[in-house]
Chain A
Amino acid sequence: MTATLDRYRYAVVVALNALMLLGHVHWLPPAYATWLFALLGLSIWRARHEVRTAPAWLRLPLLFATIGLLVYTAGSPVGREGGSALLGGLIVLKLLETTQRRDARVIAAAALFFCMIGFLFGQGLTLTLYLCAVAILAFLALHVVSLDGERDWPTLRADLRRGFSLSACVAAAAIPLTIVAFVFFPRLSSPLWGAPWDATQGKTGISDRMRPGQLSSLWNDDTPAFRVTFSGPVPPPEARYWRGPVMWQFDGQEWSRTDLYRGVSPGEIRYERGSVTDYEVLMEPTERNWWFPLDFALQAPEGTRLGGDGQVTTFRPLIGPRKATFRSAWRYQLDVQPASGQRWAATQLPRTGSPRARELAAAWRERHGTDDQAVIDEALGLFRREFSYTLEPPPLGGDPVDDFLFNTKAGYCEYFASSFAFLMRAAKIPARVVTGYQGGVLNAAGGYWIVRQSDAHAWSEVWLEGRGWVRIDPTAAVAPERINRGSLAAALPEAASWYSEGWGADWRNRFDLIARYWRQAVIEFDAVRQRNLLQQVGLEDMSWQALGSGLLIFGGIGLALGAWLSLRGLGTRTSDPLLRAYRRFTDRLARAGVAREAGEGPVAFGERAATTLPRAAPAILELTRRFAEQRYGESAGDADSSHRRRLAQELRAFRVRA
């Protein structure tokens, strides 16, 4: 049966699409998202009088424009991001040729699918709740288009109200079944096909290249990078450096990693016993290959490798959230005897460029002879005296090192670390740049530490005779508060206080605690956790058959419970206000001791109630008579009559006076 949509139902479907898109704006390219919303606006505008199919001369150019914009903004219409964005665009374009109920249903189903795709781009609690709410609205849309007859605004409003309570009630009743299925559903031990991972596209966090100015996108990114729970002693604030990629090579513009030390174990390491600590890191997905252990990791957990420069790498990118246990020592001496080639690699500079910086370094070297520490102090002194810390530094010209050192003299960690390492190498001191995070805030309620993206940091290490690799953080020389209170506080001392310390931080901590529970209970629930959980309740056998029968048994119970709850919950609901009022009336009588029996007619019940409650008898009989007349008599079905309304009011106002 084909049924055409009227413009009210069409508007419901368009609204569903708008809400669906809202759940995706965090990853869709902004221009593309704006375009899709504009298409939704166009659909609504075209359907202002009646729902019509857009002519091909309109649909085809819009399709090409959408794909063109997608390629322009997202790079390609394939891959995880491009493919998902294309699907969203096609769903929105489908609206332009939707006139039938059948199309509307397909769109609602596709919207559900597209909502699920959103979890490829984020798995947070808020997003999950939002997308589940959109799912309820998709069912609401399915419900609204299922009803027949021409709609106007009041009837649509009634449909929406009924549909919403129905969909929400059914979805709420589905929660027990969902949880049972979630716990028992057999997990795949290995994926059926490859993960949708775009090798070219790192999303968040710190990359394996460093160019001054690059980290700035992270300052405002307040999402957690990882969470740390210490089982050993907690390092003091000035030691909370989380070691990421180590940059060895500099091409005049950009620092980059080398694979030279990936396969090598660290050289000799000496550490203070009192500074050794064990901790667990809960890593957010980065789609990159490295962890950020506390500087300096002594052991790498299973599945990772501790490289020669202290970097912990994985074989596969961290697509999903991961958890691992590390042991680190924060007071250590590394490579007092340098590994072969390290000193050479750490003094390489581009053949040309940055002449003034080289000159300056050569002058320091000449002044201090072989005293490396004195050269370092010169550089730090220079930074402290003449440089300023800002999150919005002026742009650098063609030679970034010289331009920063002698011209702009303002920047943040990357600028200082990069130029410091350059100066050191120019003075023949082996130096490298380390990126990672610095800081972390205790979530007292959860007993763990959060390190956020905005804590991203870059510092330098120099190799000194007899001391090995020594961490020098030139940013600390310029803005010591960066190390103590974070980058935002260093840049905006007064504005940031409420945010990072006052009630704002309090709320953020609470929210983060919930987010962590969510992460532990849901996001990280895998085959191993499933086994642990089920073994606790006595299920040893974890075969597909055992899980399947558990799913059937408990799922059946959950289904029956949900069906019973929702049918009962909705059964007492009716759109007829008179009947609702009459139920209130019978409820009151039931509380007074006269309950209406199943199948007992209103008149018979009224008479019985009147004999049992003689004091209220006249009122009971009168209301019953009028109710029977309105509901079953001549005027039954005339919902708008004022008699019915008045009777409903009186039924609601009825009291049994004891």
Chain B
Amino acid sequence: MPATWREDLMRFAERRLPALTRYRVAEPLPIRLHARRVYILPTRFGLVFAVLLVAMLIGALNFNNNPALLFALLVAATTMISFHHNVGQLNRVELRSVSADPVHAGQPIRLRLHFHAGAGADRPALVLDQDALSHRFALTAEGDGEAVLDVPTTRRGYRGVGRFRLWTDYPFGITWSWSVLHPDARVLVYPAPEPNAPPLPTGDPRAQGSRLRFPGDDWHGLREHRPGDPPKHIAWKPSARQERLLVKEFADPQSQAVLLDWHVLPLHREARISRLTRWVIEARDRQMPFRLRLPDTELGPGHGPLFAAQCLRELALLP
């Protein structure tokens, strides 16, 4: 619907009308729309309709045809009253929250805008726009609803949700009224994972030596007896079956976790973040415990989606 001339007009209006520019700065949620910040203009069809109405009025006046004049005036008056209904669609609509599940930079983030309609009629044809994106949704009177926009992301970190335009040409498509919503809300974007990263640095536990710390407290497995093993660790029953001495081995869980270390990666800053992100995702998906060592902090050891989310968040917020 938004044609270029309309965009120009919008820009002009924003330059000229302080009431419009007032809402260019982000404002805290909830944002409640009222008639003074809802703007209305004719649609392109509305302009055609206006020309037609003028032609009808002039024709009726010219022929001194009063029923025709009455008819044209009724149509005109109905149209004018519909302006109020058009604005009334946005009046008392409230944006209560904006939320989004984090995504990695480069992926579109799905913004969920939670709206509540105040008293009045149903709002069956609301449209939420941001740039080229738009989403149509409906609200019943005194009801709640959600508008969803998949907004592209480019950079990691917190991202302001930006300005939205909520508009509708309901009920007759003759006018459209809109209001600009610029909520003071931000959503988190994780760093983009490195596309072809080397595998997780698990390697051979003994060779690397970093993965397990022996001895530990938790049961780990059986191995051949080596001189110096404490006798109480000898597993007698398996040893009897195998006809050699086996000992029970214990290891610390900490020593089990993969260490994802910022400092050992020979890469520049963003590439390091990118690779660590990839590894965190991989470790999360494989349910592996891991530790994340960052310039200032060390996280973990830990495992599972919550811990991974914490790590990704730290990565995202790295300066």
Point out residues on A near B: beta carbons under 8 Å: 1, 101-102, 105-106, 109-110, 112-113, 115-116, 119-120, 123, 127-128, 131-132, 135-136, 139, 142-143, 145-149, 162-163, 166-167, 170-171, 173-175, 177-178, 181-182, 185, 187-188, 191-193, 195-196, 319-320, 522-526, 558-559, 562-563, 566-567, 570-571, 573-576, 579, 598, 631-632, 636
Contact at A109–B49, with CB atoms within 8 Å? yes
The distance in angstroms between the C-alpha atoms of A185 and B54, with both chains bound, is: 13
Judged by a CB distance under 8 angstroms, whether B72 is at the interface is: yes
Q: How many A-B residue pairs have CB under 8 A?
A: 185
Judged by a CB distance under 8 angstroms, whether B317 is at the interface is: no
Can you list 10 residue pairs at the A/B interface with Cβ under 8 Å? A143-B170, A146-B169, A146-B171, A147-B170, A170-B171, A174-B81, A178-B77, A562-B81, A563-B81, A567-B85
Question: For residues 105 through 143 of chain B, which have their beta carbon under 8 Å from a beta carbon of chain A?
Answer: 119-122, 124-125, 136, 140-143
Judged by a CB distance under 8 angstroms, whether B55 is at the interface is: yes
* Given pairs A147-B125, A162-B124, 9 additional interface contacts (CB within 8 A): A116-B56, A136-B78, A142-B172, A142-B173, A142-B174, A143-B172, A146-B172, A567-B85, A574-B122
Q: How large is the interface on B (under 10, 10 to 19, 20 to 34, 35 or more residues)?
A: 35 or more
Q: 3 nearest interchain CB pairs?
A: A174-B77, A119-B68, A563-B84
Which residues of chain A are within 8 angstroms of B78 by Cβ–Cβ distance?
135-136, 139, 167, 170-171, 174
Contact at B141–A522, with CB atoms within 8 Å? no
The distance in angstroms between the C-alpha atoms of A182 and B69, with both chains bound, is: 7
The distance in angstroms between the C-alpha atoms of A136 and B70, with both chains bound, is: 14
Which residues of chain A are within 8 angstroms of B73 by Cβ–Cβ distance?
177-178, 181-182, 185
Which residues of chain A are within 8 angstroms of B120 by Cβ–Cβ distance?
567, 570-571
The distance in angstroms between the C-alpha atoms of A393 and B156, with both chains bound, is: 98
A123 (CB) vs chain B CBs: closest residue: B67
Partner among B67, B74, B85 whose Cβ is within 8 Å of the Cβ of A522: B67
Question: For residues 180 through 203 of chain B, which have their beta carbon under 8 Å from a beta carbon of chain A?
Answer: none
Judged by a CB distance under 8 angstroms, whether B62 is at the interface is: yes
Which residues of chain B are within 8 angstroms of A112 by Cβ–Cβ distance?
52, 56, 75
B49 (CB) vs chain A CBs: closest residue: A109
The distance in angstroms between the C-alpha atoms of A115 and B59, with both chains bound, is: 13
Distance (Å) between the CB of B283 and the closest chain A CB?
A: 34
The distance in angstroms between the C-alpha atoms of A598 and B80, with both chains bound, is: 29
Contact at A575–B122, with CB atoms within 8 Å? yes
The distance in angstroms between the C-alpha atoms of A112 and B78, with both chains bound, is: 13
A148 (CB) vs chain B CBs: closest residue: B136
The distance in angstroms between the C-alpha atoms of A135 and B58, with both chains bound, is: 18
Which residues of chain B are within 8 angstroms of A145 by Cβ–Cβ distance?
173
Partner among A135, A148, A173, A570 whose Cβ is within 8 Å of the Cβ of B125: A148
Residue of B62, B74, B88, B143 with most chain A CB atoms under a 10 A cut-off: B74
Contact at B65–A128, with CB atoms within 8 Å? no
Known: A113-B56, A174-B74, A178-B74. A166 touches B85 (CB 8 A): yes
Which residues of chain A are within 8 angstroms of B48 by Cβ–Cβ distance?
106, 109
The distance in angstroms between the C-alpha atoms of A93 and B69, with both chains bound, is: 27
Please report whether the interface of chain A is mostly helix, strand, loop or mixed according to DSSP.
helix
Contact at A185–B81, with CB atoms within 8 Å? no
Judged by a CB distance under 8 angstroms, whether B214 is at the interface is: no
Judged by a CB distance under 8 angstroms, whether B219 is at the interface is: no
Which residues of chain B are within 8 angstroms of A131 by Cβ–Cβ distance?
71
Which residues of chain A are within 8 angstroms of B68 by Cβ–Cβ distance?
116, 119-120, 123
Contact at A523–B67, with CB atoms within 8 Å? yes
The distance in angstroms between the C-alpha atoms of A193 and B71, with both chains bound, is: 21
Contact at A146–B67, with CB atoms within 8 Å? no
Partner among A102, A128, A167 whose Cβ is within 8 Å of the Cβ of B45: A102
Distance (Å) between the CB of B138 and the closest chain A CB?
A: 9
Distance (Å) between the CB of A149 and the closest chain B CB?
A: 8
Distance (Å) between the CB of A521 and the closest chain B CB?
A: 9
The distance in angstroms between the C-alpha atoms of A457 and B71, with both chains bound, is: 36
Which residues of chain B are within 8 angstroms of A195 by Cβ–Cβ distance?
63
Contact at B62–A192, with CB atoms within 8 Å? yes
Judged by a CB distance under 8 angstroms, whether B66 is at the interface is: yes
Partner among A109, A174, A191 whose Cβ is within 8 Å of the Cβ of B62: A191
A127 (CB) vs chain B CBs: closest residue: B67
Which residues of chain A are within 8 angstroms of B64 by Cβ–Cβ distance?
187-188, 191, 320, 526
The distance in angstroms between the C-alpha atoms of A206 and B141, with both chains bound, is: 61
Distance (Å) between the CB of B232 and the closest chain A CB?
A: 56
Contact at A113–B136, with CB atoms within 8 Å? no
Q: Mark B70-96, 1 if CB is under 8 A from A, else 0.
A: 111111111011101100100000000
Contact at A579–B75, with CB atoms within 8 Å? no
Contact at B85–A132, with CB atoms within 8 Å? no
The distance in angstroms between the C-alpha atoms of A113 and B55, with both chains bound, is: 9
Contact at B70–A178, with CB atoms within 8 Å? yes
Q: Mark B1-22, 1 if CB is under 8 A from A, else 0.
A: 1000000000000000000000
A565 (CB) vs chain B CBs: closest residue: B81
Judged by a CB distance under 8 angstroms, whether B60 is at the interface is: yes
B74 (CB) vs chain A CBs: closest residue: A178
Judged by a CB distance under 8 angstroms, whether B61 is at the interface is: yes
A122 (CB) vs chain B CBs: closest residue: B67
Judged by a CB distance under 8 angstroms, whether B261 is at the interface is: no
The distance in angstroms between the C-alpha atoms of A110 and B49, with both chains bound, is: 9
Judged by a CB distance under 8 angstroms, whether B150 is at the interface is: no
Judged by a CB distance under 8 angstroms, whether B144 is at the interface is: yes
Which residues of chain B are within 8 angstroms of A175 by Cβ–Cβ distance?
74, 77
A105 (CB) vs chain B CBs: closest residue: B45
A525 (CB) vs chain B CBs: closest residue: B66
Distance (Å) between the CB of B48 and the closest chain A CB?
A: 7
Distance (Å) between the CB of A561 and the closest chain B CB?
A: 10
The distance in angstroms between the C-alpha atoms of A335 and B45, with both chains bound, is: 68
Contact at A146–B141, with CB atoms within 8 Å? no
Which residues of chain A are within 8 angstroms of B125 by Cβ–Cβ distance?
146-148
Partner among A105, A193, A573 whose Cβ is within 8 Å of the Cβ of B121: A573
Contact at B67–A128, with CB atoms within 8 Å? yes
Which residues of chain B are within 8 angstroms of A120 by Cβ–Cβ distance?
63, 65, 68
The distance in angstroms between the C-alpha atoms of A162 and B124, with both chains bound, is: 10
Which residues of chain A are within 8 angstroms of B63 by Cβ–Cβ distance?
120, 191, 195-196, 319-320
Contact at A170–B82, with CB atoms within 8 Å? yes
Distance (Å) between the CB of A626 and the closest chain B CB?
A: 17
Residue of B52, B63, B143 with most chain A CB atoms under a 10 A cut-off: B63
Which residues of chain B are within 8 angstroms of A105 by Cβ–Cβ distance?
45, 173
The distance in angstroms between the C-alpha atoms of A127 and B65, with both chains bound, is: 14
Distance (Å) between the CB of B146 and the closest chain A CB?
A: 10
Which residues of chain B are within 8 angstroms of A573 by Cβ–Cβ distance?
121
Distance (Å) between the CB of B166 and the closest chain A CB?
A: 15
Question: For residues 155 through 185 of chain B, which have their beta carbon under 8 Å from a beta carbon of chain A?
Answer: 169-174
The distance in angstroms between the C-alpha atoms of A31 and B121, with both chains bound, is: 46
The distance in angstroms between the C-alpha atoms of A53 and B121, with both chains bound, is: 36
B55 (CB) vs chain A CBs: closest residue: A113
Distance (Å) between the CB of A368 and the closest chain B CB?
A: 57
Distance (Å) between the CB of A13 and the closest chain B CB?
A: 13
Contact at A139–B74, with CB atoms within 8 Å? no
A189 (CB) vs chain B CBs: closest residue: B64
A158 (CB) vs chain B CBs: closest residue: B124
B124 (CB) vs chain A CBs: closest residue: A147
The distance in angstroms between the C-alpha atoms of A102 and B72, with both chains bound, is: 22
Which residues of chain A are within 8 angstroms of B76 by Cβ–Cβ distance?
181
Partner among B62, B71, B143, B170 whose Cβ is within 8 Å of the Cβ of A132: B71
Which residues of chain B are within 8 angstroms of A525 by Cβ–Cβ distance?
66
Contact at A579–B172, with CB atoms within 8 Å? no
The distance in angstroms between the C-alpha atoms of A201 and B172, with both chains bound, is: 40
Distance (Å) between the CB of A24 and the closest chain B CB?
A: 14
The distance in angstroms between the C-alpha atoms of A274 and B65, with both chains bound, is: 40
Distance (Å) between the CB of B114 and the closest chain A CB?
A: 12
